[in-house]
């Protein structure tokens, strides 16, 4: 399943956090992201679906450590 590209503001809304913090993380992760210009807005998506799967597995591991 291919994820839709999202702007930083959209990602911030989805995960209920500050847009500025999302932008900082995205800057550090540029090598793992595909950027797409839609109108005047930069949209981000993960470069490969296997990386998305790996991230989801890390989240599951982290949630098991901290109930």
- Burial bucket for residue 60 (CB in 10 Å: 0-12, 13-18, 19+): exposed
- Burial bucket for residue 12 (CB in 10 Å: 0-12, 13-18, 19+): middle
Per-residue pLDDT of the chain (67 residues; tens, 9 = 90+): 456 788 999 988 988 889 999 899 889 888 888 888 888 899 988 877 777 677 777 665 555 554 4
Decide: pTM greater than 0.85.
Answer: no
Return the bridge partners of 36, or none: 43
Q: How many CB atoms lie within 10 A of CB 48?
A: 11
Q: Are 43 and 35 in contact (CB under 8 A)?
A: yes
């Amino acid at each position: 399943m291919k994820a839709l590209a999202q702007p930083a503001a959209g990602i911030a809304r989805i995960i209920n956090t500050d847009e500025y913090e999302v932008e900082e993380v995205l800057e550090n992760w540029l090598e793992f992201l595909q950027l797409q210009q839609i109108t005047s807005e930069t949209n981000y998506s993960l470069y490969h679906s296997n990386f998305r799967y790996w991230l989801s597995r890390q989240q599951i591991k982290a949630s098991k450590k901290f109930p």
